[in-house]
Structure 1
Amino acid sequence: MGKKTKTPSSDGDRRQAGSDTLSRFVLRARRVQAHSLVADWDNLLQQAHGGFDGHLDMAGKMTITRRLPKDEEVFESLASRVRPLTVRTEPVYYVKVFDALSELLSEVDDELRSRIEALRAAWDDAEIQGTQIQAYALQSARLDGSSATPRVSDTQLAAAWLYADLVHADAQGAKKEALAFSMSERYAAAVRVFSHMAALTVTTLDLITSLRADGLLTVDAEAWDDEVVVGVTELTEEGRMFVASEVDDLPDLREAISLSDQWSAFTVTDLLRQEPANQVRVVLRDESDEALMSFDAAVVRRHRESDSLEWDVLVAGSAVFKFAFEQRDGQLTAARYIGWDTIETSNELKLAATRFMLKVHSAAALTFEIGEHRLMRLDAPSFSDDMKNELVVIEETVADIVAVEHIVEQVFDPCIGKFFDTDRVLLRRVRLMMEGHLVHSALGSVSVTAPLGKPPQVIVAAPATRNVGGAEVPAPQYVMRHPHMSIEEVSSDTANNTSSYKIEPPPADRFSMWIPAVCPVRGDQDLENIERLNLNGIDEEKIDY
């Protein structure tokens, strides 16, 4: 049984189908128009018109020269871009395009109709599925009439080049007769035929463009705006890479991305460790030299002096330890510790560095190992309790900033300056609300302006930005409410039809705060599901900010 096709059943369906056809044609025609051979319009028309240079010497010998494109491969790409317009099964086959124009332009003046009909006739004359002669035909034979070939049109030659030499390898029907001639003859015919089609394509695009400009035709804006060529020699994209040694199945990106514990982010350390010579292991040890935890580390820099070698070793992706080794007879001997520093050029790196320093605080020593060889043992730097608490506060704050960065898919300037407890509290509230939780507000009342006679049932807070140690963290719009809040009209402005209200929760109580888009509240009973802040050193029952 033949394949069934669905035909439009109404005028509206047919017009929509016609519009879709023109949109596809515009995309394809813009791709043809963008081709480098079409950009040189005069040369394209010269190729489309064909012709040759002839030279006759005194002895009567004729030399005929036909000019072909400088680059055969470039012309092949042009023919490939034009090809869908010549294939009956393609949605942009030229006949379908002109049928769509007829459907959408039912009422046009005689001049415009003649222009469209003449252009369609030019396309019909350029049709490659047949034996018609467009400009010339070839036949070859000996002088005595033997070994004669069939007479083959330029249409057959061009089609045979397309289907036997370029995109397929099996010419059928009338195209097969063209195989009696050389590939160069088939190519020469194709240059004229497909250059002519490229010119017709651009002319048809110009027609549709003018009809659209005159308001006679509507074509989807995407057809004019979407990319039709890549136009660059390299592609650069930014993102994160995740790797896993073995997985049962790859994640389906049509669903929310949630990677299992088998996956880990591919880091600079992982990249450097691809070279075995860079592989170092750092182990945190207790006072009995027992291992507490270990880190895969990597040599990021080697600097050779006359009698020593310096190494920079990257640990936890954010701390760089510097060592110097003496060399004797090409062998590394005594090692000397120079110092260490942290990398804090982003909030994620600052968070990793802070967490690493907290882990170092819990150890008595660090050992640097290569394979089974212990390179060096260092006593862990000592931290006072105040310094440890400061590191904990930094870790909490930067972790909140990084969490917000991930939610809004934006990277903020690093938090490297001073911040205060008020910043910490407001930041934690923002993070929790953006994660879909309800939190408590500060103590106290709120002043609100609302339409006259319509006291608000919720308080809407406008979006704002909070600077936390140099990181500008956005706070989206959120709302506040308490089931038993009091609403007092303080003043009214009849000229502007507004009133000022003082709204406050019960004594010593607080409003509930949430972002409706991520935390749907069905009723006042939900306002009791408050998430605690759990910030180090802050009693949230007493804070008034």
Structure 2
Amino acid sequence: MAESATSGGSISGATEVAARHLAVLRRPTLRARRVEAHSLASNKERLLGWARGTTTLRVEAPSGKAVVSWDLPDKEALDSLAARCRPFLLNRDPVLNGLEFFLQGAPGDLQQQHQTIRAGWRLLDLADRGTLGYGSKAGLLTEAMNEFVTDKELAYAWLHGDLAHADDATEGRVHGHDIDARFQAGVLLITNVAVRAIMTLNFFRRLRSAGYVELEEDVFTERVVARPERELAVTKIATAPVGTPIDAIEAFLDGSATRADEDGAGVT
């Protein structure tokens, strides 16, 4: 009897732990679907191009001057995508740890994909001293160059200074790199976040299809982007003087009050 009770308790405990991990996964799944639904993510090839930091080198005639140019998305559209991506830069560990719980006993390819996703996210952290693609020094040709900064330092300066807080100290913190340089790095960071969010979302879908994660169907189907227009069918309208109690107005709507009510509410 004691053994049976212990076994039952273990099963119940495991179920509770699984439920907690599922609750942790639900919100990031919805957030990732918002990223996937963004206009800048509609063209996956172009999104990947931005995430790779695609550049073009051209030589201008007749001067022979060499110019490097970057293909960058619209500024306001990138601001919008950054708002949807920003939560993924704050705290991902519970999500990735939750996935690890469900992958116990899963095939090696799923385990490897999970580790690849985890490693990819880690590269985006400012604490990681590497770069996403480049580092930079800025300065005047007639003076010594300023200190070297990574693209991630520039990107986070744009994210936290130019985009979120309009911090006056941003310029000084990134050693002479102007807002164009910071935005360029911001594009690299945010599009990489978007790519990884969509990759993680597709991994969720694969795990759910294989039966490892029992997220509800509505997590993958409910609308995650508001419509630009909204209509409601009106069946009753109540009008009343300012200050009329809500209860009196509701009474008119459900037919339990008369037009002679002392509060003076009326129905049209």
- Scaled by the length of structure 2, what TM-score is found? 0.82
Q: 1:153 Cα shift?
A: 1.1
Contact 2:124/2:132 (8 A) holds in 1: yes
- Which of 63, 66, 85 lines up with 1:62 in the alignment? 66
Correspondence for 1:81? 84
Is 1:159 aligned to residue 162 of structure 2?
A: no
Is 1:38 aligned to residue 41 of structure 2?
A: yes
Correspondence for 1:246? 242
Q: Which has the higher contact order (CA 8 A, sep 6+)?
A: 2
- Which of 230, 233, 241 lines up with 1:235 in the alignment? 230
Contact 1:156/1:175 (8 A) holds in 2: no
Correspondence for 1:135? 133
Runs of 4+ in 1 over 3 A off after TM superposition: 10-13, 56-60, 128-132, 142-145, 248-253
| Counterparts of 1:33 and 1:200, CA distance in 2 | 10
Q: 1:34 Cα shift?
A: 0.8
Task: Kindly indicate which of the two structures has a greater share of residues assigned to helix.
Answer: 2
Q: Which amino acid aligns with 1:20?
A: A
Secondary structure of 2:67's aligned partner: strand
| Counterparts of 1:263 and 1:252, CA distance in 2 | 7
Q: 1:221 Cα shift?
A: 2.2
Task: Kindly indicate which of the two structures has a greater share of residues assigned to strand.
Answer: 1
Q: Deviations over 1:54-105 (max 9, x none)?
A: 1235765321111111x221121111111111113xxxxx322111101122
Q: Deviations over 1:151-184 (max 9, x none)?
A: 1111111111111122223388x99622731111
Q: 1:129 Cα shift?
A: 5.4
Contact 2:57/2:68 (8 A) holds in 1: yes
Q: 1:221 to 1:171 in 2, by over 3 A?
A: farther
| Counterparts of 2:28 and 2:187, CA distance in 1 | 22
Q: 1:140 Cα shift?
A: 1.3
Q: Which amino acid aligns with 1:68?
A: L
Is 1:25 aligned to residue 48 of structure 2?
A: no
| Counterparts of 1:35 and 1:176, CA distance in 2 | 33
Correspondence for 1:209? 205
What 5-or-longer segments of structure 1 have no aligned partner? 1-9, 89-93, 268-545
| Counterparts of 1:30 and 1:158, CA distance in 2 | 23
Q: Deviations over 1:219-274 (max 9, x none)?
A: 122211221012x3311112233221132543499xxx435633212x3xxxxxxx
Contact 1:141/1:149 (8 A) holds in 2: yes
Pairs within 5 Å for 1:104-503: 104-128=102-126, 131-143=129-141, 145-146=143-144, 148-170=145-167, 177-178=173-174, 180-230=176-226, 232-239=227-234, 240-247=236-243, 249-251=245-247, 257-259=250-252, 261=261, 262-265=264-267, 267=268
Q: Which amino acid aligns with 1:150?
A: E
Q: Which amino acid aligns with 1:23?
A: R
- Scaled by the length of structure 1, what TM-score is found? 0.42
Contact 1:128/1:156 (8 A) holds in 2: yes
Contact 2:244/2:265 (8 A) holds in 1: no
Contact 2:122/2:128 (8 A) holds in 1: no
Contact 2:22/2:98 (8 A) holds in 1: yes
| Counterparts of 1:115 and 1:133, CA distance in 2 | 22
Q: 1:129 to 1:235 in 2, by over 3 A?
A: farther
Aligned-residue Cα RMSD (Å) equals 2.5
Q: Which amino acid aligns with 2:99?
A: L
Q: How many residues align?
A: 245
Q: 1:107 to 1:237 in 2, by over 3 A?
A: same
Secondary structure of 1:258's aligned partner: helix
Q: 1:32 Cα shift?
A: 0.8
Contact 1:105/1:216 (8 A) holds in 2: yes
| Counterparts of 2:128 and 2:108, CA distance in 1 | 31
| Counterparts of 2:154 and 2:212, CA distance in 1 | 39
Q: 1:46 Cα shift?
A: 0.6
- Which of 89, 101, 115 lines up with 2:99 in the alignment? 101
Larger Rg: 1
